[in-house]
């Protein structure tokens, strides 16, 4: 594992001009005057390693990549943060995790070689799937989210069901892995490289056993984790990875999927992992615009300027997160849309959680739904 100073050199943090542009756009800094990416970075350049990894500020960053959009030196503040957290975790330094660390515990349990799961129970009897084949659909933790957040009406599994409907409609019977595990995204960004690697190796092994040559994702975090992090930490995967939006778009353009008209006013939330991390902005919008009579209305802050949903990797859910989520719901309501579409299960969970609070009753008429669900609901 790299040391703090090796991480600083790798990310070229020493090139910082102390201009403060990162802090000026950081959604946390705008609400929490005690946190500043610029201040943490410049402090790390001159402080001792033990002080850096014990600094609780390294856990505040949402890793939303907003700072990367404006840094004149191109300093990768996210990689700096991720690296610092890995060193801190190894030394026993951690932060307070949301929900009592339940999800971190679940992910670590998933590294067990003897674990038995009921991963297939959610699949509708009408769906056509395979255990071996070229196209594999990686579901992620959606089955667990729906159980854990049943009290706030979360239905993240709708994203998975709708994806099967969409794939079946173009003649694809995807492989679903009965022994799929969490991708490890949250452990990686929480500094636990040991268990992240175990999950990554397991998933890659299971995918290769299925004979799949391409893996499709609806979860923005899973997609980024496979595309970037699995490749960085474990080398070439041996199969392609693609987000469902870019995968489906050619089929729609060729007329292999068509939709019935729906007079809905819809706005779209850009996930940090799909947008700023992976550069996918237009494809989900093109899919939504393929629905006749649907009106897609943009929020003031969209695409590269989109506001994060306020929480990442189950690490930081506090008053500042709630204020960000409330602001995003207000942004959506301001458009006049009656539906807010999302492309990340975490966005759905966090925004629905805040939407359900009594103080947000004026906004409760807006429906929050996965964009693939809106598509599948309107297939001709």
- Domain boundary residue, one of 181, 215, 249: 249
Distance CA(270)–CA(285), nearest Å, equals 10
Task: Assign residue 238 a region (left: φ > 0; alpha: ψ between -120 and 50; beta: otherwise).
Answer: left
Q: Which of 229, 260, 181 is nearest to 82 (CA)?
A: 229
Per-residue pLDDT at 363: 64
End position of a domain, from candidates 200, 224, 249: 249
348, 332 Cβ separation under 8 angstroms: no
What is the domain-level CATH number for residue 238? 3.40.50
Same domain, 308 and 176: no
Q: What is the pLDDT of residue 195?
A: 97
**Residue 107 sits in the same domain as residue 245:** yes
In contact, 178 and 119? CB cutoff 8 Å? yes
Q: How far is CA 359 from CA 226, 308, 355, in A?
A: 38, 21, 9
Per the document, the length of the chain is 380
Q: Which domain holds residue 369?
A: 251-377
- Is 269 within 8 Å of 303 (Cβ atoms)? no
One DSSP character per residue, 279-320 reads ---HHHHHHHHTSTT-EE---SS-GGGPPP-S--TTT--SHH
Q: What are phi and psi of 270, to 5 degrees?
A: -75, 115
Q: Are residues 240 and 160 in the same domain?
A: yes
DSSP three-state, residue 137: strand
**Gap between the Cα atoms of 247 and 284, Å rounded:** 10
Q: State whether 226 and 266 are in the same domain.
A: no
Q: Are 104 and 85 in the same domain?
A: no
Same domain, 233 and 304: no
What is the residue-wise DSSP string for 173-236? --B--TT-----HHHHHTT-HHHHHHHHHHHHHHHHHHT-SEEEES-HHHHHIIIIIIHHHH--
User: β-strand 339-342 against 367-370: which pairing, if any?
Assistant: parallel
Per-residue pLDDT at 96:
78
| 3-state DSSP assignment of residue 154 | coil
Question: How many domains in the chain?
Answer: 3
344 with 240, same domain: the answer is no
* Shared domain check, 125 and 61: no
Last residue of a domain, one of 249, 272, 305: 249
Report which of 222, 260, 263 is spatially closest to residue 241, judged by C-alpha positions. Answer: 222
pLDDT at 362: 61
C-alpha torsion 181→93→69→156, nearest 10? 30
Residues 241 and 255 in one domain: no
The pLDDT tens digits along the chain (380 residues) read 789 999 999 999 999 999 999 999 999 999 999 999 999 999 899 888 889 999 999 999 999 999 999 999 999 999 999 999 999 999 999 887 888 899 999 999 999 999 989 899 999 999 999 999 999 999 999 999 999 999 998 999 999 999 999 999 999 999 999 999 999 999 999 999 999 999 999 999 999 999 999 999 999 999 999 999 999 999 999 999 999 999 999 999 999 999 999 999 999 999 999 999 999 999 999 999 999 999 999 999 999 999 999 999 999 889 999 999 999 999 999 999 999 999 999 999 999 999 988 676 666 678 999 999 999 999 99
The SS3 call for residue 256 is coil
Do 264 and 243 lie in one domain? The reply is: no
Q: In degrees to the nearest 10, what's the CA dihedral of 238, 163, 374, 348? A: -70
- The Cα–Cα gap between 219 and 137 comes to 11
């Amino acid at each position: 594992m790299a040391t703090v100073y090796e991480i600083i050199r790798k990310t070229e943090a020493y090139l910082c001009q102390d201009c403060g542009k990162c802090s000026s756009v950081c959604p946390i800094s705008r609400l929490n005057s005690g946190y500043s990416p610029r201040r943490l970075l410049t402090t790390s350049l001159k402080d001792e390693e033990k002080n850096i990894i014990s600094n609780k500020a390294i856990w505040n960053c949402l890793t939303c990549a907003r700072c990367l959009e404006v840094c004149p030196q191109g300093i990768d503040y996210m990689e700096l943060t991720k690296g610092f957290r890995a060193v801190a975790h190894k030394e026993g330094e951690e932060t307070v995790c949301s929900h009592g660390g339940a999800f971190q515990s679940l992910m670590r349990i998933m590294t067990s070689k003897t674990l038995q799961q009921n991963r297939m129970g959610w699949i509708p009897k009408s769906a056509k799937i395979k255990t071996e084949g070229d196209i594999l659909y990686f579901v992620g933790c959606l089955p667990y989210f729906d159980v854990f957040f049943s009290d706030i009406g979360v239905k993240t599994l709708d994203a998975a069901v709708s994806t099967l409907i969409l794939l079946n409609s173009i003649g694809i019977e995807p492989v679903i892995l009965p022994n799929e595990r969490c991708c490890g995204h949250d452990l990686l960004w929480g500094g636990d490289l040991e268990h992240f690697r175990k999950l990554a190796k397991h998933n890659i092994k299971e995918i290769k056993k299925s004979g799949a040559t391409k893996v499709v994702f609806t979860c923005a975090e899973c997609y980024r984790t496979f595309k970037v992090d699995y490749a960085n930490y474990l080398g070439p995967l041996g199969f392609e990875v693609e987000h469902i939006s870019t995968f489906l778009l050619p089929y729609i353009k060729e007329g292999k999927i068509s939709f019935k008209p729906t007079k809905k006013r819809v706005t779209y939330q850009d996930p940090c992992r799909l947008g700023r991390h992976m550069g996918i902005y237009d494809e989900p919008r093109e899919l939504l615009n393929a629905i006749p009579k649907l009106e897609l209305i943009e929020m003031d802050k969209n695409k590269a300027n989109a506001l994060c949903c306020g929480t990442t990797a189950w690490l930081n859910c506090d008053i500042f997160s709630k204020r960000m989520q409330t602001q995003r719901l207000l942004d959506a309501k301001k458009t006049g849309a009656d539906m807010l579409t999302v492309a990340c299960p975490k966005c759905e969970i966090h925004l629905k959680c805040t939407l359900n609070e009594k103080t947000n009753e004026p906004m409760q008429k807006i429906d929050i739904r996965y964009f693939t669900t809106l598509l599948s609901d309107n297939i001709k």
